[in-house]
Amino acid sequence: MSFTIKTREEIEKIKAANQVIARLYADILPSKIVPGVSTNELNTIIEEYIISQGGTPATIGVGGPSNAYPAGSCLSVNEAVVHGVPNERILEEGDIISVDTVVELDGFYGDSAFTFPVGEIDEESKRLLEVTKKSLEIGIEECYAGNRLGDLGNAIESYVKKNKFTVVRDFCGHGVGYSMHEDPMVMNFGRKGRGIKLEEGMVIAIEPMVNAGSYKVGILKDGWTAVTRDGKRSAHFEHSVAIVDGKPVVLSKLDR
Ligand code: MG
């Protein structure tokens, strides 16, 4: 498996694409994700915002002509893990919704996901969101030059296990920047000291998906939406992270 090294200038462009997503999640969506809104309506808001910022919602058409992804965002509600296709589903008080967006801006790609609560959520869901978000932070801390992807995956998995949740194994993070999915694959589990060695100038999307019950997932008839097999809830957080001066820099964290 190979991977690319980005220059400082390229990393700035990847950051600019990610900042569109950061603003979307911080400034636009929190007031829109409320009981009564459909995921179709949210997707329209997301696509229009990205275009208003000069970007392109890059998930549209992914998968090729036979199974083209139809929307500019992935909106995964409750038991949906990732790749939730927007539809007529109406959000209800107490739901959780993972929003995953890829933006192309000026030829470079940013990728970030955030799971939002809909109104007031139960204690177990709150804990699921907190543990998943924290597992991403733990993964980011491991993203430094000289460390290995196995160390990163192991740190995420160990933390999730300790908190009695499970890490999804069928999907993973990835290199990002020149395109939406690049090598290497960034697993959310692994063995210490194994895997690719991280290097200066790498940019990877780290994206733990954490289930409240079993790690097992299936795909719905729409060909995309991944759901937990046991119907329990799943959360997902993702950041695009560059290695600069040997250390992790989160490109998708809002930078005002
Ligand atoms: Mg991703």
The yes-or-no verdict on residue 256 having pLDDT over 90 is no
Judge if pTM exceeds 0.95. Answer: yes
10 Å CB burial of residue 70 (0-12, 13-18, 19+) is middle
Strand partners, 248: 243
Per-residue pLDDT tens digits for 87-97: 999 999 999 99
Distance (angstroms) between ligand 1 centre and the Cα of 39 equals 20
Distance (angstroms) between ligand 1 centre and the Cα of 213 equals 22
Distance (angstroms) between ligand 1 centre and the Cα of 38 equals 23
Q: What is the pLDDT of residue 41?
A: 98
Q: What is the pLDDT of residue 156?
A: 98
The one-letter amino acid code at 221 reads K
Q: What is the pLDDT of residue 96?
A: 98
CATH number of 8-250: 3.90.230.10
Across the beta sheet with 209-211, the strand order is: 166-167, 209-211, 234-236
Return the percentage of the chain with pLDDT > 70, whole number: 100
pLDDT, the chain, mean = 97
Per-residue pLDDT tens digits for 158-207: 999 999 999 999 999 999 999 999 999 999 999 999 999 999 999 999 99
Distance (angstroms) between ligand 1 centre and the Cα of 94 equals 26
Distance (angstroms) between ligand 1 centre and the Cα of 203 equals 12
Beta strand ranges found along 106-229 (DSSP E): 108-117, 166-167, 173-175, 182-186, 203-206, 209-211, 217-219, 226-228
The yes-or-no verdict on residue 2 having pLDDT over 90 is no
Distance (angstroms) between ligand 1 centre and the Cα of 101 equals 8
Concatenate the DSSP letters of all residues of 41-60 into one string: HHHHHHHHHHHHTT-EETTT
The yes-or-no verdict on residue 1 having pLDDT over 90 is no
Distance (angstroms) between ligand 1 centre and the Cα of 181 equals 7
Domain map of the chain by residue range? 8-250
Per-residue pLDDT tens digits for 98-148: 999 999 999 999 999 999 999 999 999 999 999 999 999 999 999 999 999
Residues 6+ apart with CB under 8 A from 29: 42, 45, 46, 99, 116
Instruction: Name the band, by pLDDT with cuts 50, 70 and 90, for residue 70.
Output: very high
The yes-or-no verdict on residue 58 having pLDDT over 90 is yes
If one counts every other C-beta atom within 10 angstroms of the C-beta of residue 12, the result is 13
Per-residue pLDDT tens digits for 111-122: 999 999 999 999
Distance (angstroms) between ligand 1 centre and the Cα of 173 equals 5
Distance (angstroms) between ligand 1 centre and the Cα of 146 equals 23
